[in-house]
Structure 1
Amino acid sequence: MRKPNRRVLPTIIGVSVLTTLSVNVAVLVARESGPPATPPQATPDKRARFVAASGSTQLSPAAVAPLGKRLTPHVMVAAPSALPADLAGRIRKAKGVQGVEVVDAVQGMVAGKRVGLLGVDPSTFRNYTPKPTAQSDALWRNVAGGDVAISFTMGSDGGVQLGSRIPVGGKDRQSELRVGAYATMGVGDVDAVISHTAAQALGMPTSNALLISVPKTRPAEFVKKLRKVLPKGAKAVEVNPEIDAPATGGGAGAGTGTGKTPPAARGQVMTAQQVQTVIRAAYSRLGWPYVWGGESEAEGGYDCSGLMQYAFARAGIKLPRVAADQARAGWVVPYSKAQPGDMLIWANDPTAPGYISHIALYLGKGKMLAAPRRGTVVQIQNVYTRNMKGAVRVNPRHAAGIAG
């Protein structure tokens, strides 16, 4: 993840809006406390292995509305305090808007890591999440009952156990929440979701953010128009911009996009010297432990995207922090076209199909340098193509723009 007081509003919620909200708001501090609760009950539903049993929620499992029409969030609006009560209604009437969801948004600390935290209405917010997450009634009943749902990578790679109870620290009060589910929400840098009721109990800002679905409008253009009508202090950002994947023939990670090929103009692709510097820097981290959220020696190790950010920074190239954003730092080409210095990307998260959750540095000749997962160290590996989505040819100028 990221350190406090870093960038302000480069691309999406995690490195932008939530950083804006990080001062004088509730802080979530999590560590495992006592033995884990009862493990998930076995059911035919594949999603059950990512959802804790409902018997030990802080409150009684609450009823939630059935899944409605699923919507994709394209734009987020957020402010340090509550947005005007009529703003959501006015935006709903705008041309091209299919849906608007009101949420509470803050940046907090979970398991010692600074992450994005949302307070939501489980009955309606579920419609804006990836299909496996949206479809799980048990997941949303747990959230409605007082649990926290954390991202799949935070659970699997961060070592936060499903069913464990974690102390939650707010500005003025603390409470304990149970980890009720592993569920990636599909919004970059949002790694924890609780109910509106739980958010209010923590002293989080109320209704200070909106998720907006505009499927038939270019999100970047909608953001420009939206900023003109927002109140002072409110920010609007595009959520998860599309990856630039040129259409090139077959193979693992083949793109399906515009057919453009990466340009060779200075500043648009890395120089040979930059490539060598990036690879040398990555080699210098061999043997360092995998640490979820790690991006420097200060954290005692690196996660996959933290390693990329470190290595490219040594060559003067500024990358965004998480893998899903780094995948947008250039052009995606098929693995068969990969060159040393490209970043390889995978969508391994079963709770958010298609969401980029892992990244590594390609060395050439079928080898890559990566921080694989919890319990491993930075190492050289053979490239594997299962769930691979291609190779990113980094555009230094574009990368700097989205990193902020």
Structure 2
Amino acid sequence: MLLLFSGPWRRWMSSSVAAGGTISLLVETSRLNTERERERIEDNVERSLKVFQRYNPDVKVKWQLVPSDRMVQELDYRHRRGLGPDLLLITDTDLAALGKRGWIRPVSLDATERQDIRPDLVEALESDGQMLAVPELVFTRMACFDRQRMAAAPTSLDQLIDQAKAGKRFGFQSRFSELTWLYTSFGGELFPQGVASTNPSALLDFLRWLRLANLQPSIVFEISPQNLLHGFLAGRYQWVLCANRWLPSLQDGMSERLGLAALPQGPAGDPRAVVHMRLWAFGSQSNPRQQELALRLALFNINVVQQRTMAIDQATVLPVNPAIGLPFKAYPVLAVQYQQYKRGLVLTNQQFSDLYALDEQVQPLMDAVISGSKTPEAIAPRLHQVLQERLR
């Protein structure tokens, strides 16, 4: 009897009969990660690799954590010596920059392998028929609030202003890339299809709300996300725009006091938060055998069993595999993440690059409105022109 295998099983079968090997892996961490968060990342990576090597004993993985602000320096050092890593675990915001430097390469996945990845993520990461990276998990920004000092998070921007007037303290990041959800809640589009679909009135309404919010003594806009995190932990804020990587520290520091909620609605309805991905990216200096083993590790981590285990263990991120059903009632954070993912914005590699490159150019305009030095009416046309030119 002849058995034929296709997709990931075919790749696994062909790999398992070949000689083993060693691959190198760099895992990116944020410079803002606390010691507790770094320990959690280490535990997750070690657990994942231990399971992989149980079924792939011929593969050895040498890995290390690298802070995001040292990643370019580390990769430059390695590539100059011909020792670039075979695999990187990074955030989506870094993919374009690494690709432009020639430090990573695309990979080919067949139709069966692509079925383990949500179609919108495949579309965002595909270029010329190849995948720029393989996604491992997805997440969005959320609202975090202190249950002891706030009975419920506001579900609308009007409620947020009312609660601020009543003395509840709110913290926002002031960068445009961190306020895109707010812009979309006024009907704004980040990457409109053509000039005709842009909405100048949405931008003006967005800026007017920023001015209104900053007039409330209980609403603060922070440049530094670290100040926002520390302020929330110290009790200076009852509600903050929350980054996913903060959750382990917040859960440790606040326990049952920590509440999580969807971002509040605006006049145009539900906001569309940017969907972020953690990605497996593939080094450009690997030999064919290392390339095969690196892809084997990435594909192993997106199969149904590993993805479900990862989502349940971490309880703060969503799997990329669409075949997984999650117990949302038992894991409310996953329920919030899924709700925002379904209505969120999945950006392409180039769109991520354009959005975050925009911050430096538009921040003075944002600050002028927030600080009160310029009116929304004066800044809106200038900001609209920049968005038209840069976000297409």
Taking structure 1 as the reference length, the TM-score comes to: 0.24
Query: With CA pairs under 8 Å and 6+ residues apart, which has the higher RCO, 1 or 2?
Result: 2
The structure that is helix-richer by fraction is 2
Where is the strand percentage greater, Structure 1 or Structure 2?
Answer: 1
Could you state the TM-score of these two structures normalised by the residue count of structure 2? 0.24
